[in-house]
Amino acid sequence: MPDDRPFHAVTPPAEPPTTPATGATRRRFIAATAAASGAAVVGGLAAGQPALAAETARGSRASTTVGGSKDHRNAKKEKRMRIVAVEEAFSVPGAIRQEEAIRQRMAVPEAIKREWFRRLDDLTELRLADMDANGVDVQVLSYSTPGVEVIEDPAEAVAAARHINDCLAKAVAAHPKRFAGFATLPMQDPEAAVVELRRAVKELGFKGALYNDHVRGHYLDEPQFRPVWAELERLGVTLYLHPAVVPADNWRVFDGYPVLVGPSWGWTATVGAHALRLIYGGVFDRFPGASVMLGHMGELLPFQMARLDSRYDQVPAEHRVRHLPSYYLRNNVYVTTSGVMSHAALLGAVHAVGVDRVLFSIDYPFESSAEAVRFLRSAPYAPADLARIAHGNAERVLVL
């Protein structure tokens, strides 16, 4: 199966760059984000405490950029670089009946939860101050988990989605240069989801949609969701595939190790598997113009591309799709940096899928804007490629 479509990749430097250590490990409290058992809610709302970008000891040599230029790292250029963050959460108090009960069951220290929820519910004062302090020009806002996916009744889900989208549209209209939006869709009723997607894009001006992994164990490769993919393709907007705070099922391999269930590993495993279902299920053969965004450096799929391709010849012919898996990862998938502040991971993702398919995100308020922006500005890339990651790709893909 040929897979020769060109893509724009940047070759990493011979010696990977290093950054000063901060004295702590990333996601240092992740162990606190697991629930006690079974179908209980697992993990935090999105990603945990502020991530730390450190990867080497203090005193290590400074990073060098691809091509040897360091100009983009001086303070003046840092201040001028436009930054668009594309996975930034907000909430609408009372929009979902189940939300408060789910929040109460989260095994996260109360002080952390209070700060998260204070910032999720705020769409102006705290958020804009944080953006200004850290040089973030635009946040693309999406409704925080638990989203409408936890609602059982389809009619209730439709009403909640419309209410959330209307609230978001007002916030964007009030600050059109600072905010853009991803729609919430009631996938419990795919036909209603099509109607709401069309309204959100055409009337409210949203840039795509964000979906929290599953609706009661149903995944988007299933036939009932084909009208949604057709509308996404027709409108030319992307779907951000995000983890779900409530798991679809329980994996025995996680038994006794709740730290594995949520953002440290389980969410990556489940969302990455969902994305592979879309690929192997032929979604992008039926709808070649459709696309998804995957956070956390593509839920690590860029680093598995060679393995996916090498094993593909073992797939029975009747279950094969038109191209190797890597083709879809380079043509139908966009990768964001949310929650993975590692230059080594960024270099690998860019080299795998191409610099034009990697977008910056923070995962506010679950991650630190200061740490995320510091990670971005110190990334080992020439100014033109860094600008693509920081804002250019988001502006192109989302038509900002």
Among all residues, which ones are annotated catalytic?
363
Report yes or no: 142 and 242 within 8 Å, Cβ to Cβ. yes
Alpha-carbon span 224 to 237, nearest angstrom: 19
Phi and psi at residue 275, to the nearest 5°: -60, -40
Which pair of structure tokens corresponds to residue 284? 């992008």
Alpha-carbon span 180 to 40, nearest angstrom: 33
Alpha-helix runs per DSSP H in 176-335: 190-202, 226-235, 266-280, 283-286, 295-299, 305-310, 325-331
- Cα distances from 384 to residues 341, 344, 380, in angstroms, run 20, 19, 12
Q: Which residues pair with 359 in a beta bridge?
A: 336
DSSP letter assigned to residue 28:
T
Query: Taking the CB of residue 122, how many other CB atoms lie within 10 A of it?
Result: 16
Q: What is the DSSP string of 42-108?
A: -S-SSS-SPP----S-TTPPPP--TTS--GGGSHHHHHHS--EEEEEEE--TTSSTTHHHHHHH--S
As a dihedral over the C-alpha atoms of residue 224, residue 228, residue 234, residue 239, rounded to 10 degrees, the angle is -130
Alpha-carbon span 78 to 70, nearest angstrom: 11
Rounded (5°) CA angle 209-210-213:
135
Q: Which amino acid is at 242?
A: H
Alpha-carbon span 258 to 244, nearest angstrom: 16
Q: What 3-state DSSP class applies to 13?
A: coil
Which pair of structure tokens corresponds to residue 280? 């192997």
